[in-house]
């Protein structure tokens, strides 16, 4: 083994160690089976009523919603469907807990269901009502009456809960929820009746924690997302805490995770206003319009394309596929098609990769053919360099004439490769964003949405490391390919990359001179 190979292996090992440290820094250490993770990525802790009691809002933020006081406890109503278990409380008529039945909180098969909504110190429960005029009001301390009891729904069966509350000034608030056993969307109707002639404009509140410095790689938090005037508004946590407000035709708005979404979808979003800001330990999103009553679809569910599209409001755009989403989405549907046959997403990724290589074969062949043409011209190129070594302008002109006589495009070897970049970026986004790969196993890999080395973790002191089998196999295959490639051969077979670089430089120099003359 020569010196260059040894240096290459050493550098590869160094890159692996640095890469694992960066992934651990940004996404946290690999999950352990002994400590189940909560929604926000930390171990679950038992809380007492005193711990759940949050201080009242600061005087500088009088409109901020307060956490539910421990001195008054409301009745809890549980709604269980095929997909989730939701717990409502009559204290504020709010959603206290929302657990998915088909998604775990961590990769451990014995981990509890993922809880999208849960109580947290200083964070109000979502689905509160607030208005500023004629008298400021927020229903965190309002004890509602409820029509309906615990529900257990399956299939197409429906059930409803109606919460009714009366404020001290005589105004009445009604929140009506309608559930379907087999679907995630929940119909929500908000109605406010004032005791006097004035009509308050109610805001519906969504809440989440403002502190996401400890990321949860099983459900990374993306921030506040809204579709306003058919334009996506994405406010990551660092921007959302500064306060943002949008108005116009609001299709939907809510808090997004990479794999899950909690959103309100107005039946008619015209002339609505949405805002998000920090209030103590909470991020508070609000949506309102000028009417005293409004109908919404409450969506708390996974970011699955078919489910999101079924609402017909463009909710599928909450998935961030990047600029090449028009490429990523078809790839995702092909992945679904393969999965119906194979039943393994690991095999589906392999099949999709092979399919893409087949589709890209014409471009790859064209690139190689162009490189081969350039190689045939190499002897003539060398003679021109010797003849015009002292005249760069004449050399560039002769090179262009040589290309023209032989019908060779100097960019022919590079352009087909450049055209493939959007395809590979689209493939990466198609594999990094869908919930289908979350906790999907394949061979030794426990979670296809995570780096493979986290499936075989080990610790060296404070370093969280792992064995990157796929990376090692790829490096070994490249090393084997290089070892099997003969070093001696046709002297005309030079590196195509160096040729292309030189030719591109020559073309640019010639172009600059032509522009200068003009």
Question: For residues 64 and 87, what is the distance between their CA atoms, to the nearest angstrom?
Answer: 24
Residue at token pair 């095999």 = 347
Gyration radius of the chain's alpha carbons: 30
Residue at token pair 């965190």 = 140
Question: For residues 385 and 395, what is the distance between their CA atoms, to the nearest angstrom?
Answer: 7
Minimal CA–CA distance to 238: which of 219, 224, 248?
224
Confidence (pLDDT) at 8: 62
Q: How far, CA to CA in Å, does 109 sit from each of 114, 259, 272, 452, 475?
A: 12, 18, 43, 18, 32
- 503 CB contacts (<8 Å, ≥6 apart)? 374, 399, 410, 411
* 98, two tokens: 């929302």
Q: What DSSP assignment string belongs to 480-503?
A: HHHHHS-SS--TT---HHHHHHHH
Question: For residues 343 and 440, what is the distance between their CA atoms, to the nearest angstrom?
Answer: 11
Confidence (pLDDT) at 91: 93
Confidence (pLDDT) at 66: 43
Question: For residues 188 and 265, what is the distance between their CA atoms, to the nearest angstrom?
Answer: 10
Output phi, psi for 419, to 5 deg: -65, -20
- Could you give all domains of the chain from N- to C-terminal order, each with its CATH number? 72-320 (2.70.98.90), 329-445+486-517 (no CATH)
Beta strands 250-257 and 158-166 are: unpaired
Q: Three-class SS of residue 346?
A: helix
Output phi, psi for 234, to 5 deg: -115, 120
| Cβ proximity of 65 and 207 under 8 Å | yes
| HSE-CB of 97 using CA atoms within 13 angstroms | 15
Confidence (pLDDT) at 432: 86
The one-digit pLDDT tens for each residue of the chain (518 residues) are 556 656 666 666 666 656 655 655 554 555 444 333 333 333 333 333 333 333 333 333 334 444 444 345 689 999 999 999 999 999 999 999 999 999 999 888 889 999 999 998 999 999 999 988 777 888 888 999 999 999 999 999 999 999 999 887 788 899 999 999 999 999 999 998 887 767 788 899 999 998 888 778 888 999 999 999 999 999 999 899 999 999 999 999 999 999 999 999 999 888 899 999 998 899 999 998 877 778 999 999 999 999 999 998 999 999 999 888 899 999 999 999 999 999 899 999 999 999 998 988 888 777 777 777 777 878 887 887 888 777 788 888 878 887 777 777 766 667 777 778 888 899 988 888 889 999 989 898 888 888 877 788 777 877 777 788 888 888 888 888 778 765 544 444 444 444 444 444 444 454 444 444 44
Confidence (pLDDT) at 451: 82
Confidence (pLDDT) at 289: 85
Minimal CA–CA distance to 212: which of 241, 233, 232, 253?
241
Q: How far, CA to CA in Å, does 142 sit from each of 37, 131, 139, 147, 207?
A: 33, 14, 5, 16, 18
| HSE-CB of 397 using CA atoms within 13 angstroms | 8
Question: For residues 97 and 68, what is the distance between their CA atoms, to the nearest angstrom?
Answer: 14
Confidence (pLDDT) at 40: 37
Locate the DSSP E strands across 84-136: 84-89, 94-104, 113-117, 128-131
| Cβ proximity of 70 and 49 under 8 Å | yes
* 440, two tokens: 């999907």
* 159, two tokens: 């059930």
Question: For residues 160 and 180, what is the distance between their CA atoms, to the nearest angstrom?
Answer: 9
Minimal CA–CA distance to 288: which of 296, 278, 300?
296
- 421 CB contacts (<8 Å, ≥6 apart)? none
DSSP 55: P
- Burial profile 289-306: b = 16 or more Cβ within 10 angstroms, e = fewer: bebbebebbbbbbbbbbe
Residue at token pair 């070093």 = 487
Confidence (pLDDT) at 264: 95
**Cross-strand pairs, 404:** none
């Amino acid at each position: 083994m020569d010196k260059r190979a040894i240096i290459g292996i050493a550098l590869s090992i160094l890159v692996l160690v640095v890469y694992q440290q960066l992934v651990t820094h940004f996404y946290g250490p690999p999950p352990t089976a002994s400590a189940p993770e909560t929604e926000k990525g930390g171990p679950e802790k038992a809380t007492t009523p005193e711990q759940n009691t949050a201080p009242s809002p600061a005087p500088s933020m009088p409109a901020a919603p307060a956490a539910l006081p421990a001195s008054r406890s409301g009745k809890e109503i549980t709604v269980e469907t095929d997909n989730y278990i939701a717990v409502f409380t009559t204290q504020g008529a709010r959603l206290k807990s929302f657990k998915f039945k088909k998604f775990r909180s961590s990769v451990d098969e014995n981990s509890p269901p993922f809880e999208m909504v849960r109580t947290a110190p200083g964070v109000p429960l979502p689905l509160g009502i607030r208005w500023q005029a004629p008298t400021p009001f927020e229903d965190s301390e309002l004890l509602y009456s409820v029509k309906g009891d615990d529900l257990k729904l399956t299939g197409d069966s429906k059930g409803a809960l109606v919460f009714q509350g009366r404020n001290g000034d005589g105004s009445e608030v009604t929140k009506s929820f309608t559930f379907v056993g087999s679907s995630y969307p929940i119909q929500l109707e908000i109605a406010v009746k004032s005791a006097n002639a004035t009509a308050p404009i109610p805001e519906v509140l969504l809440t989440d924690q403002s502190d996401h410095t400890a990321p949860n790689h099983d459900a990374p938090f993306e921030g506040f997302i809204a579709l306003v005037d058919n334009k996506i508004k994405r406010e990551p946590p660092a921007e959302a805490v500064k306060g943002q407000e949008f108005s116009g035709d609001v299709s939907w708005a809510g808090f997004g995770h990479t794999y899950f979404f909690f959103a309100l979808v107005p039946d008619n979003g015209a002339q609505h206003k949405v805002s998000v800001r920090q209030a103590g330990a909470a991020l508070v999103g609000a949506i309102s319009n000028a009417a005293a009553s409004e109908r919404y679809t409450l969506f708390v569910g996974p970011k699955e394309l078919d489910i999101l599209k079924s609402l017909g409001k463009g909710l599928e755009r909450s998935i961030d596929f990047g600029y090449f989403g028009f490429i990523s989405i078809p790839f995702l549907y092909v992945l679904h098609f393969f999965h119906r046959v194979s039943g393994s997403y690991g095999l589906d990724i392999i099949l999709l990769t092979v399919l893409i290589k087949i589709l890209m074969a014409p471009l790859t062949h064209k690139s190689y053919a162009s490189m081969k043409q350039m190689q045939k011209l190499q002897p003539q190129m060398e003679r021109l360099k010797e003849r015009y070594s002292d005249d760069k302008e004449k050399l560039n002109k002769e090179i262009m004439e040589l290309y023209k006589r032989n019908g060779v495009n100097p960019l022919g070897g590079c352009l087909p490769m450049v055209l493939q970049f959007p395809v590979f970026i689209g493939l990466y986004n198609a594999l990094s964003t869908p919930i289908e790969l979350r906790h999907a196993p394949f061979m030794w890999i426990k979670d296809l949405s995570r780096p493979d080395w986290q499936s075989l973790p080990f610790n060296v002191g404070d370093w969280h490391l792992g064995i990157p089998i796929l990376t090692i196999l790829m490096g070994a295959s490249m090393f084997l390919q290089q070892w099997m490639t003969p070093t001696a051969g046709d002297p005309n077979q030079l590196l195509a990359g160096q040729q292309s670089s030189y030719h591109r430089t020559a073309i640019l120099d010639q172009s600059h001179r032509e522009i200068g003359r003009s």
